[in-house]
C-alpha cells in the first residue's frame, strides 16, 4: 500500500485546500496520473501519484484544508495487474 501525501508546493506554502478529485475509490491509476487538485493562496496544483494501482481510500474531502505531508489517499500497488490493462 502506497501513501499519497501532499508534497511540498513551494516556499512558504504550508497548507492547501482540496479543490477536486480526478479519481474515486476503486479506480485504477497509472504512475504520474493526477489524483487531486489543491489550491493555495498563490496557485492551483495537481498532485500526481508515483505508482500504479487501485485507489483503496481517500482520506480528505473537497473543501478540506490539508497540510504539507498529510496523507491524501492510499493506493494498492498489488491492484496493478498489467494483463488487465492490455
Contact 72, 11 (CB under 8 A): no
Q: What is the mean pLDDT of the chain?
A: 90
Residue 80 has pLDDT above 50, yes or no: no
The per-residue pLDDT for 24 is 96
- Assess whether pLDDT exceeds 90 at residue 79: no
pLDDT greater than 70 at residue 85: no
Give the mean pLDDT of 21-40. Answer: 96
Per-residue pLDDT at 35: 95
**Cell 476503486 sits at which residue?**
26
What is the fold of 2-78? OB fold (Dihydrolipoamide Acetyltransferase, E2P) (2.40.50)
The grid coordinates listed for 12 are 512558504
Amino acid at each position: 500500500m502506497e501513501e499519497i501525501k501532499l508534497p511540498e508546493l513551494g516556499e512558504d506554502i504550508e497548507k492547501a485546500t482540496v479543490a477536486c478529485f480526478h479519481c474515486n475509490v476503486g479506480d485504477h491509476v497509472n504512475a504520474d496520473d493526477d489524483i487531486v487538485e489543491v489550491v493555495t493562496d498563490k496557485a492551483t496544483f495537481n498532485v500526481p501519484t508515483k505508482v500504479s494501482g487501485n485507489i483503496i481510500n481517500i482520506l480528505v474531502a473537497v473543501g478540506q484544508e490539508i497540510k504539507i505531508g498529510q496523507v491524501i489517499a492510499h493506493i494498492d500497488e498489488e491492484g496493478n495487474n498489467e494483463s488487465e490493462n492490455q
